[in-house]
Structure formats: structure tokens, C-alpha cells
Amino acid sequence: MDFSKYGKKIWMDGKLVDPQDANISVMSHVVHYGSGFFEGIKAFKTANGPAIFRLDEHVDRLFYSARVYYYEIPFTKEEIKQAIIDTVKVNEFESCYIRPSIFMGAGWHDIDISEEVPFHVVISTWNLGDITGKEHHLGVTSYRRVSSQMTPMQAKAINNYMNSYLIRHEAHMAGYNEAIALDANGYVSESSGSNIFLVKDKKIITPSPACSILNGITRLSLIQICQDLGFEVEETFITRDFLHLADEVFCAGTATDVKAVNSIDRITVGTGDYPITEKILQTYLEIATGKNEKYQGWLTYVK
């Protein structure tokens, strides 16, 4: 196993350790029951060193995820933010993906946990590589997105990602890059790891948070950016046929940024051009790389 992509150190339970030494027991609760949460955060390259995009919002979501499952993170929000900054700094990445993970350790006797079971907190950073430029062909998957009647969907819980895994795996088996999942009621929900936006007659339309989506931090940022660019934005219930009536469709998320969708179910989206998506992407990147004064409050510089 090559650990070099994770840089020099991983932060684990309060200490920076060598990546190959960041280990847990196979008897950890998380291994048996998938009990954990995570975040996906990005640090962008700027003229003033790496800047972490919307750190406060990501750390707030991490604490929300734990709270809604009755977990208590054994660090304060300030300590976690500082640990994230320290980990990016020590690894000397100009830009990177940041993965805070919280999970249950060894010593359990039941699916429910008792006080003796330790919580582990790990922050790893890695090089995401360049995912721009590739065409994005999506298919609607047969798997429905998990409903919040079953599990809290605003929590970024590990267990939600087995549903994501099936959604993406089925897409790959069908020859697509990614899938769009419908919710339990048949409305457009999201892809396995990003939110969906449609452009129709210069209006931006995106599934309502009631459609089993993760109300993504990129999604919320883009809604504000689109409104600031003068677009009308509607959060609503979208049926599958509207995917094929849209002028443009794009995916949005921390790892994805803003990614134009070329086809859905092998039907070309709109005319195949995506000028509005491109404008939103360029504005988003300008903000994330520190070139837009107005949104400096969204960035935490790592110095």
C-alpha cells in the first residue's frame, strides 16, 4: 500500500502520526456496524497559500452528524478546525481534499454502544488529482436514495454511502460515469456523491431538500452565487422527464466542484453546450481560489 498520496502525516486522536501508523483494531464497532461520520472538505491553491473552502460550515455539519446519532465528539469545534489547518499545513499541499472521520472503536458488546467504547477522530488529507475535462454521462439508477424516514440524510454518515456505492456501481456496470438516484417518491434526488442542478430557460432548478438529498455546502454556496449572478433559483420537486427537458444539467459537490452533464440515459442534455454551467463553474473557482473579494469570508487561509 502506497501511503505517499496522504502526505507526511495523518492527525489521529489529537496527534500527528505517520500515515502507515494511523490504524484501528478490526474489532472496532465501525468495522462491524458502520458507525461513523465524515466530512469532505477542499483546500484550494490561492496566491496566499492553500485556503480551506467553508471550513466553519463543514465542521458544523460534522458536529451535527454526530449529534443526531447521539455521539459526542471528544474535541471542540475550534480544536477540530485547528487540527484541520495543522494537517493541511504539515503536509505542504498547495491544494488538497481533506477528510475528517469520526468512528467508534473497540470494546463494544452490543450494536448500541456503552461509555467504554472510544471515539476515534482522524483527519487525513490527500491529493484529489485533476477530475476536470472528462465527459460526464449519467444514467438514472434503479436504486432509490435512502429516505430520511429511515436514517438522518443530513448527516454525512458512513452507512449512507453503501446506498451511494450501489448507485455508482450500477451506473458503472451500465457504462455510465455516474448515476442520478430518484427518492422514494420518484422525484429526482441526487447522485452518489453530489447534488444535481438543472438550467431551464436561464432559470436554475434543483431538487428540494425534502427529496432525500444531502443539502450540500457546495449546493448552498452555488444557490447564493447564482442569485448574486442574477439567476432565479428554484428548489422544487423534479420528475425524471424534466432531466431530458433541461437546457443544461450539472453536478455539484466538494470533490466534483461544478461538473456539466453531457448525457442522461444516453440522451444528450439540451444542445450539448453548457454556457451557464461554465459561468457558474468559473465564478465558483474564482471565489474558491481567493480571487473574489466579496466572498473572502468563505475561505480560511492556511499560513
Active site residues: 156
Shortest distance (Å) from residue 303 CB to ligand PMP: 24
Q: Which residues, including other chains, have CB under 8 Å from residue 171's CB and lie 6 or more apart? A: 138, 139, 141, 177, 178, 179, 192
Look up residue 109 and give its three cell numbers.
Answer: 458488546
b/e per residue 65-85 (b: at least 16 CB within 10 A): bbeebebebebeeeebbebbb
Q: Which stretches of the chain bind ligand PMP, using CB under 6 A?
A: 40, 164, 190, 193-195, 214, 216-219, 253-254
C-beta closer to ligand PMP: residue 8 or 236: 236
Shortest distance (Å) from residue 214 CB to ligand PMP: 4
b/e per residue 236-250 (b: at least 16 CB within 10 A): eebeeebbeebbbbb
Q: Do residues 139 and 265 lie in contact, with contact meaning Cβ atoms separated by under 8 Å?
A: yes
Residues in the chain: 303
C-beta closer to ligand PMP: residue 35 or 195: 195
Shortest distance (Å) from residue 298 CB to ligand PMP: 13
C-beta closer to ligand PMP: residue 106 or 215: 215
Shortest distance (Å) from residue 251 CB to ligand PMP: 9
C-beta closer to ligand PMP: residue 9 or 136: 136
Q: Do residues 53 and 288 lie in contact, with contact meaning Cβ atoms separated by under 8 Å?
A: yes
Q: How many CB atoms lie within 10 A of CB 220?
A: 15
